[in-house]
């Protein structure tokens, strides 16, 4: 028995496949969904989405919600990227920009500290996910 999973982002369907298990970044902690799971609706935080227990297929999700109904998992993500599609160099550059902004925030009160921290977190999440992408 398998789970049908669909990941939808504002631009359209990012992913649609069948898997044995899904691990999602729930707002209160990671959620593992197996076939036969009870119905569920939950907000998602930023984090990694694993499409099997070994983490061979992965994506990064930047918030949204998940709905589980009768072996069907639907993720409506604010944004998401497949691990093998992440531009690692771009993520490194974003990390460096965010780190510089945070450093400047010590002396420049005009810099939005929360926004700089959020940018750093997104860049680190992309880099982490890309480093563990499917072999």
Structural domain boundaries in the chain? 3-83, 87-131
Please state which CATH number belongs to domain 3-83: 2.60.15.10
CA distance 34 to 92: 34
Torsion angle in degrees (nearest 10) through CA of 25, 123, 92, 104 = -150
User: pLDDT tens string for the chain (135 positions)?
Assistant: 789 999 999 999 999 999 989 999 999 999 999 999 999 999 999 999 988 766 566 899 999 999 999 899 999 999 999 988 999 999 999 999 989 888 887 787 787 878 888 888 899 999 888 886 544
pTM of the model: 0.82
Find out if CATH 1.20.5 is the number for domain 87-131: yes
């Amino acid at each position: 028995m398998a789970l049908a999973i669909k990941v939808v982002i504002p631009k359209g369907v990012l992913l649609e496949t069948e898997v044995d298990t899904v691990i999602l970044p729930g707002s209160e902690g990671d959620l593992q969904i197996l076939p036969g799971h009870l119905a569920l609706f939950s907000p998602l935080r930023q984090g990694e989405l694993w499409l099997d227990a070994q983490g061979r297929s992965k994506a990064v999700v930047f918030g949204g919600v998940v709905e589980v109904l009768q072996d069907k998992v639907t993720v409506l993500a604010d944004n998401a990227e497949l691990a093998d599609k992440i531009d690692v160099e771009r993520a490194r550059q974003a990390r460096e920009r965010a780190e510089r902004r945070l450093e400047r925030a010590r002396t420049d009160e005009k810099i939005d500290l929360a926004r700089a921290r959020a940018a750093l977190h997104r860049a680190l999440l992309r880099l982490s996910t890309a480093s563990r992408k499917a072999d």
